[in-house]
């Protein structure tokens, strides 16, 4: 993202940490191939060499961006649902438990529910907790 001066990129990085309990970690490569929009000439799924190409994720904006009555973002680092879809699909199966210890506005819970995963969300900020609760209450799949 450009800096406020619009002359350079901002110096910002966010990490996604992936932990598992025990030795039963998973990486659902075949499931990721299914959500990769790129296909072979015959229409079959492709190997994931182009993974970074298909995972272009813009900053959350439009209808997905949660905004207050003043029009400002309710959370400064709201994650795109597509990002969580890729992470949860890659690292869990239906019925597994997904833990998000920095739950924010509840995007992980929304996506985990849609993908038929159980989830646990932890959030210490009371304002974000309220936003997540309201958001989750409005989703039919929860």
The pLDDT assigned to 2 comes to 58
Does pLDDT of 94 surpass 80? yes
Q: How far apart are CA 54 and CA 70, in angstroms?
A: 34
CB-based contacts of 18, cutoff 8 Å, min separation 6? 87, 91
The pLDDT assigned to 141 comes to 41
Distances (CA, A) of 38 to 31, 58, 86: 14, 18, 15
> Strand locations in 6-117, DSSP E?
97-100
The pLDDT assigned to 55 comes to 59
36 band by pLDDT with thresholds 50, 70 and 90: confident
Q: How far apart are CA 58 and CA 78, in angstroms?
A: 11
Name the pTM for this structure. Answer: 0.78
More confident: 61 or 25: 25
Task: Tell me which residue of 43, 39, 54, 116 sits closest to 86, measured CA to CA.
Answer: 54
The pLDDT assigned to 47 comes to 77
The pLDDT assigned to 123 comes to 97
The pLDDT assigned to 142 comes to 35
Buried b (16+ CB within 10 A) or exposed e, 31-66: ebbeebeeeeeeeeeeebeeeeeeeeeeebeeeeeb
Per-residue pLDDT reduced to its tens digit, 64-78: 889 889 988 898 888
Distances (CA, A) of 57 to 52, 61, 79, 123: 10, 11, 9, 24
């Amino acid at each position: 993202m450009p800096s406020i001066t619009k002359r350079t990129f901002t110096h910002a990085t966010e990490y996604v940490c992936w932990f598992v309990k025990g030795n039963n970690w998973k990486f659902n490569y075949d499931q990721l191939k299914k959500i990769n929009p790129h296909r072979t000439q015959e229409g079959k799924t492709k190997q994931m060499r182009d993974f970074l190409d298909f995972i272009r994720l813009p900053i959350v904006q439009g209808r997905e961006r949660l905004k207050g009555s003043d029009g400002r973002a309710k959370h400064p680092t709201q994650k795109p649902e597509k990002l969580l879809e890729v992470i949860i699909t890659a690292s869990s199966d239906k019925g597994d438990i997904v833990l998000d210890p920095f739950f924010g506005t509840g995007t992980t819970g929304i996506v985990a529910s849609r993908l038929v995963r159980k989830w646990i969300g932890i959030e210490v900020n009371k304002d974000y907790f309220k936003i997540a609760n309201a958001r989750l209450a409005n989703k039919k799949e929860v």
